[in-house]
């Protein structure tokens, strides 16, 4: 990767990925794009262009203007929003993806887009979900992710586009809010723990989902994109995970730092149903074997870091 275009650059992943990529590859070599031009200052302070990903002509135009060789396509609606607006989600998630793949095909770009644990469904094995398994999701987001994985494999097999992807678990960070996901409770809980000393979880106790701290997610993207293609038996998309917990376990970890923290519940039936349709824990051995995936943060280390960073912001 030398010159990289990032779509959805002001979202939860983009806000941190763009900064990291600029540190690694040089500020001028990372072109951030988004449909809006407000939010993360660090992203806006380098090369930035407005881009609605459903506008394929503009996407090609920008990729040509900056002579990029890599496309990192992040713009998408997350699971809970997609469930509330399924047609908009289909048009944005699939329309944006097709445009990004077409741009990559036309200009010979390397390609990354994230898939998700949302690509699994109720008939998928729930524990240590294998890399290759049943994928019959029951959400619009999941349908988009499975279709997206297949489409990326198709563009690789048919047109030789170097497509790569991971199935992200819930991503936890203190920089930009996730906005509209089922796993967002695991971010909100830290903010409310600092601000209010209590949190009402919209996900019920006993509901386990895979999670990962953002620094590990950013490293995974870069490591996969830099991996030797000869070693990749899979491409779209690799299971990756760092931890799996339910609300009680994250609360217990927070109480090691804030002993009076109180966890309550205000379960949202829509997000609870989505969470129950996803795995409890996925198996990341293919990612470890094929490109050396590893995660540095477990629940304890992540909690110490999150509370420290959010605490400092609150002062």
- Rounded least distance, CB 168 to ligand AKB, Å: 6
47/181 with CB nearer ligand AKB? 181
Give the one residue of 182, 207, 277, 303 binding ligand AKB; rule: CB under 6 A: 182
Sheet with 238-239, side-by-side order of all strands: 115-116, 166-168, 238-239
Phi-psi region of 215 (alpha: psi -120 to 50; beta: other; left: phi over 0): alpha
46/142 with CB nearer ligand AKB? 142
Q: Interacting stretch for ligand AKB, rule CB under 6 A, among 64-72, 175-183, 249-257, 290-298?
A: 175-183
Residues in 258-277 that interact with ligand AKB by CB under 6 A: none
Report in angstroms the alpha-carbon separations of 7 from 29, 202, 254: 14, 30, 34
Told to check if 183 binds ligand AKB by CB under 6 A, we report: yes
Give the one residue of 121, 148, 170, 247 binding ligand AKB; rule: CB under 6 A: 170
103/277 with CB nearer ligand AKB? 277
Q: Which of 25, 66, 141, 174 is catalytic?
A: 141
Phi and psi dihedrals of 164, rounded to 5?
A: -140, 150
Q: Which two tokens stand for residue 201?
A: 């979880």
How many chain residues bind ligand AKB (CB under 6 A)?
14
Site string for ligand AKB, 39-78 (x = CB under 6 A): ---------------------------------------x
Query: Please, which residues have CB within 8 angstroms of residue 170's CB and are 6 or more apart in sequence?
Result: 117, 181, 182, 183, 184, 186, 209, 210, 211, 212
d(CA 174, CA 35): 22
Residues in 206-235 that interact with ligand AKB by CB under 6 A: none
Told to check if 11 binds ligand AKB by CB under 6 A, we report: no
121/169 with CB nearer ligand AKB? 169
Residue listed under structure tokens 């097999």: 157
d(CA 292, CA 29): 26
- Rounded least distance, CB 152 to ligand AKB, Å: 16
d(CA 60, CA 194): 44
Name the strand (E) or helix (H) holding 71.
strand 70-73
Structural contact between residues 250 and 189, judged by C-beta atoms closer than 8 angstroms: yes
Residues in 108-167 that interact with ligand AKB by CB under 6 A: 116-118, 141
Told to check if 237 binds ligand AKB by CB under 6 A, we report: no
1/220 with CB nearer ligand AKB? 220
Angle subtended at Cα 74 by Cα 72 and Cα 79, rounded to the nearest 5 degrees: 150
d(CA 139, CA 224): 27
Report in angstroms the alpha-carbon separations of 8 from 48, 92, 123, 156, 239: 11, 12, 31, 23, 22
d(CA 6, CA 244): 29
Query: Which residue is nearest to ligand AKB, using beta carbons?
Result: 181
141 is catalytic: yes
Give the one residue of 7, 79, 135, 144 binding ligand AKB; rule: CB under 6 A: 79
170/247 with CB nearer ligand AKB? 170
Give the one residue of 47, 142, 181, 247 binding ligand AKB; rule: CB under 6 A: 181
Catalytic residues: 141
Binding site for ligand AKB (CB under 6 A): 78-79, 116-118, 141, 168-171, 178, 181-183
């Amino acid at each position: 990767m030398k010159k990289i275009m990032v779509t959805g650059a002001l979202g939860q992943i983009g806000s941190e990925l763009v900064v990291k990529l600029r540190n690694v590859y040089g500020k001028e070599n990372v072109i951030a794009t988004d449909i809006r031009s407000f939010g993360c200052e660090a992203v806006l302070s380098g090369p930035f262009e407005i881009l609605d990903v459903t506008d394929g002509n503009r996407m090609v135009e920008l990729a040509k203007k900056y002579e990029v060789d890599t496309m990192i396509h992040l713009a998408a609606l997350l699971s809970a929003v997609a469930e509330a607006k399924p047609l908009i989600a289909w048009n944005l998630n699939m329309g944006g993806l097709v445009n990004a793949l077409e741009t990559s095909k036309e200009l010979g770009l390397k390609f990354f887009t994230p898939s998700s644990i949302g690509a699994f469904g109720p008939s998928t094995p729930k524990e240590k979900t294998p890399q290759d398994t049943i994928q019959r999701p029951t959400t619009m987001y999941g349908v988009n992710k499975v279709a997206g994985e297949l489409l990326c494999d198709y563009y690789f097999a048919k047109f030789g586009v170097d497509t790569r992807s991971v199935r992200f678990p819930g991503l936890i960070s203190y920089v930009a809010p996730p906005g509209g996901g089922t796993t967002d409770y695991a971010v909100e809980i830290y903010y409310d723990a600092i601000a209010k000393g209590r949190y009402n979880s919209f996900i019920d106790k006993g509901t386990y989902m895979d999670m990962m701290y953002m620094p590990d997610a950013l490293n995974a993207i870069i490591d996969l994109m830099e991996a030797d293609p000869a070693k990749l038996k899979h491409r779209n998309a690799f299971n990756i995970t760092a931890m799996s917990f339910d609300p009680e376990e994250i609360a217990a970890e927070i109480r090691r730092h804030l002993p009076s923290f109180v966890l309550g519940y205000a379960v949202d039936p829509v997000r609870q149903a989505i969470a129950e349709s996803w795995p409890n824990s996925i198996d990341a051995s293919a990612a470890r074997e094929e490109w050396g995936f590893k995660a540095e943060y477990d629940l304890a280390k992540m909690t110490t870091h999150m509370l420290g960073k959010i605490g400092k912001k609150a002062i």
